[in-house]
Amino acid sequence: QKADINDVVGNQSIVLPLEDMISGSGGLRFVPVLDSYLTAELPFFNDTLEGLMAEALVRGKALMTGITMDDGIVKFATDDSWKQGESNLGDFVPRRARDMVSVSRRQVMGQEIHERYFPDTFDQNKFLCLLRLNTDTLFSYPAAKMSTYFANLTYGYLYNYYGSWSRPSTFPYKVKTVYHGAELPYIFYFSKVSLPLDSCSLNTANVAMKNQMVNWWTTFAKFGSPGSQWGTVSTTGYMVIDSTNSVMNSSTFNSKYFDFWNAMEKSDGLVLRVDIVILFLVVISTALFSYN
């Protein structure tokens, strides 16, 4: 993002340009993450992402990471810029591609995004379409990129369990969302909302999910693996956590969250190189014609 590190450290927030406010690819404020007091003056991004990933791969430490089905709801709680999303889909093009292509090419890529995320179905206010778009650009695709790179080390999951410990919706839309961080009450066994105070009845489904989640996470903390039933991304794919009988789903995760955006991010370089080649040939042809 176009920000000075001193502004980030000093203010813990920055003013973003409109294209970043609208776009799920760069619209959230962020602060630096510090390893320890010994590196407190050094931001965690003083190295390139590629460098950090290569260093992590050499260390070979197991990872456990995933997304929730409706992670993008965080964007909706940040500001109202998400409402402008459908009118500015070119701003959702991955930054590397967005900064390199022409305005007309960006518009074409924006149309491709529209065809994928805004099908010809009725959706009042396009809420669900925009939610999916922001979820994928903010969380799903970045997480899938990291999981693909560290496929031999990563235990990936897609969390899609909506229980009574889930946070109630803060929006005037009658939809149930699996909120960003919805898995945390089950991993750490806490909840301050949706408690059955009127009957104090035992919610066996929630307790069973809590037991399953705690078992996976503590087993991973102890042994570097969540258990024999859950393999790495490279071996068994992603764990789809939607019930206590969750099963592996290795065949659809990338097609839903990775392939489209990966192709779009890489297509810019191909398009740019083709444009350069065409321009080069035109210049050479013109020069030769003039010479003759």
pLDDT (tens digit per residue) in 238-266: 999 988 777 666 667 888 889 999 999 88
**For position 159, what pLDDT does the model report?**
93
The DSSP bridge pattern shows strands 238-241 and 247-249 to be: antiparallel
- Asked if the structure places residue 102 within a domain, the reply is yes
Q: How far is 257 from 274, CA to CA, in rounded Å? A: 27
Specify burial of residue 267 (Cβ count, 10 A radius: 0-12, 13-18, 19+).
middle
Instruction: Calculate mean pLDDT across residues 185-197.
Output: 67
| Cβ burial 206-228 (10 Å sphere, 16+ → b, else e) | beebbebbeebbeebeeeeebee
Cα angle 50, 55, 56; round to 5:
100
Give the 3-state secondary structure of residue 261.
Answer: helix
β-bridge mates for residue 240, sequence order: 158, 247
Domain count, the chain: 1
What stretches of the chain adopt beta strand conformation (E)? 63-68, 154-159, 238-241, 247-249
- Percent of the chain clearing pLDDT 70 (strictly above): 66
The residue with greater pLDDT, 276 or 189, is: 189
Instruction: Calculate mean pLDDT across residues 50-79.
Output: 83
- Asked if the structure places residue 8 within a domain, the reply is no
With CA atoms as reference, report the closest residue to 66 among 257, 227, 209, 224.
257
pLDDT (tens digit per residue) in 12-46: 555 667 777 777 654 454 444 444 445 444 444 45
- Asked if the structure places residue 36 within a domain, the reply is no
- Asked if the structure places residue 182 within a domain, the reply is yes
The residue with greater pLDDT, 153 or 277, is: 153
Domain harbouring 149, CATH code: 3.40.50.1820
Name 267's Cβ contacts closer than 8 Å, sequence gap at least 6: 97, 109
User: 43: phi > 0 → left, psi -120 to 50 → alpha, else beta; which?
Assistant: beta
pLDDT (tens digit per residue) in 149-188: 899 999 999 999 988 776 666 666 677 888 888 898 888 8
**For position 111, what pLDDT does the model report?**
93
Give the 3-state secondary structure of residue 291.
Answer: helix
- Asked if the structure places residue 28 within a domain, the reply is no
- Asked if the structure places residue 7 within a domain, the reply is no
**For position 60, what pLDDT does the model report?**
83
- Asked if the structure places residue 126 within a domain, the reply is yes
**For position 26, what pLDDT does the model report?**
47
- Asked if the structure places residue 201 within a domain, the reply is yes
With CA atoms as reference, report the closest residue to 85 among 29, 128, 24.
24
Is 58:152 a contact under the CB 8 Å cutoff? no
Indicate the pLDDT class of residue 11, thresholds 50, 70 and 90: low
**For position 132, what pLDDT does the model report?**
92
Confidence check: pLDDT of 74 > 90: no
**For position 278, what pLDDT does the model report?**
38
Q: How far is 135 from 286, CA to CA, in rounded Å? A: 48
| Cβ burial 144-163 (10 Å sphere, 16+ → b, else e) | bbbbbbbeebbbbbbbbbeb
Instruction: Calculate mean pLDDT across residues 67-71.
Output: 91
The pTM assigned to this predicted structure is 0.75
Tokens of 154: 């990563």
User: Range of 69's domain?
Assistant: 62-291
